[in-house]
Amino acid sequence: SQERLFNFAAGPATLPESVLRRAQSELFLWRGSGMSVMEMSHRGKDFKSIIEKAEADLRTLLQIPSDYSVLFLQGGATTQFAAVPLNVCRSAADPVDYILTGSWSDKAFKEAQKYSKPNAIWSGKPEKYTKIPSFSDLQQNPDAKYLHICANETIHGVEYKTYPTPLNPDAVLVADMSSNFCSKPVDVSRFGIIYAGAQKNVGPSGVTIVIIRNDLIGEAQEITPVMLDYKIHADNNSLYNTPPCFGIYMCGLVFEDLLDQGGLAQVEKRNVEKAQILYNAIDRSNGFYRCPVEKSVRSLMNVPFTLEKPELEAEFIKEAAKENMVQLKGHRSVGGMRASIYNAMPLAGVQKLVSFMKDFQAKHA
């Protein structure tokens, strides 16, 4: 089919049409360079201008303080599960705290066991990962080097609306923001490290962005592979080795687009509106659709829901696909449905989904 679909995938995910068209128009020849971005040297002046503009625009979007570095890396957010303890802990004996709110923070916690002594100070698993804990009840280790959270659990659809503070005044808050990166303003100064895979809100897969306070750079454990050492990447402006050039270029186009939309406060407004429409449709369906997540921490990005009659799920997905709405199946670990409605999902896509859901219910109630 020649038509673009409404793609509700969790990542890789839908990108802004204007960005795709711009990339298309510049694909063969990037401005005056006589070649495409994919072909140019990562050390030449053209690519240097691309990566510098991407960083500058991201700094503007998130108002990143000057004592933070921005790194464009590879290996996905999964690589950061190891890089964080390797860089922040002096040895594998150092204690660190993890809050487990879903599959992704659990994966980060498990990887950290190889390079630190992580303590799961709270787990939402007994309640099927539908909650964020109250911060005052957390039993933090006063010696922990950092407190790790997943700001938005992509699979379970739980999102922090405020952030905890590490108990140890020398510790920092570390956040995996893969699935809500640049979806709303964030006070970067609350965090020691923010990391995110690009492939949900800001670009194609293959780029991982790390925002790190400079004093955390430079004391990685000795066993740290060179590609996981933040100092190597910071000293070389993310050009120690060949970076994912085209992906960084695409992220740059997305950042420009987000600035053109009025910045992250505007982006958040639209995301709130989209999420409200969808959650309202679920909550007002008399139980035909259900979202298991506690209302106060429902994600603006990933909306999981189940059908009262699970035997209708396959038909729901099939019928939705006939109307050009795809990738609505929930993650295989939780089942049900999931609609990911990142920045680039237009309001029209959410409206169409909600109207489909109402029709489907009317047919099957």
φ, ψ dihedrals at 195, nearest 5°: -135, 155
Nearer to ligand PMP, 198 or 353 (CB): 198
From the list 69, 140, 179, 238, which residue makes contact with ligand PMP (rule: CB under 6 A)? Answer: 179
Quick check: 178 binds ligand PMP (CB under 6 A)?
yes
Distances (CA, A) of 86 to 95, 209, 220, 301, 308: 12, 17, 6, 30, 45
Sign of CA dihedral 231, 154, 332, 326: negative
**Nearest by Cα to 139 from 124, 152, 158, 120:** 120
Mask: binding to ligand PMP, 75-94, rule CB under 6 A, as x and -? -xxx----------------
**Active-site residue, selected from the candidate residues 106, 176, 229, 257:** 176
| Smallest separation, CB 284 to ligand PMP (Å) | 28
**What's the CA gap between 29 and 35, in Å, rounded?**
5
- By DSSP bridging, strand 208-213 and strand 193-197 are antiparallel
DSSP 167-205: SSTT-EEEEE-TTTTTSS---GGG-SEEEEESTTTTS-T
Nearer to ligand PMP, 42 or 107 (CB): 107
Quick check: 334 binds ligand PMP (CB under 6 A)?
no
Mask: binding to ligand PMP, 1-30, rule CB under 6 A, as x and -? ----------x-------------------
φ, ψ dihedrals at 306, nearest 5°: -115, 165
**Ranges within 91-150 binding ligand PMP (CB under 6 A):** 104, 150
From the list 94, 176, 229, 257, which residue makes contact with ligand PMP (rule: CB under 6 A)? Answer: 176
**Residue nearest ligand PMP by beta-carbon distance:** 76
Quick check: 193 binds ligand PMP (CB under 6 A)?
no
Mask: binding to ligand PMP, 305-324, rule CB under 6 A, as x and -? --------------------
Nearer to ligand PMP, 179 or 238 (CB): 179
**Active-site residue, selected from the candidate residues 122, 200, 229, 257:** 200
Residue with tokens 């009659």: 309
Does 200 participate in catalysis according to the annotation? yes
Sign of CA dihedral 359, 362, 363, 365: positive
Look up residue 30 and give its two tokens.
């990037």
Does 94 participate in catalysis according to the annotation? no
Cis ω on the peptide bond leading into residue 118 (within 30° of 0)?
no
**What's the CA gap between 87 and 102, in Å, rounded?**
24
Does 176 participate in catalysis according to the annotation? yes
Interacting residue ranges for ligand PMP, rule: CB under 6 A: 11, 76-78, 104, 150, 154, 176, 178-179, 197
Which sequence positions are flagged as catalytic?
Answer: 104, 176, 200
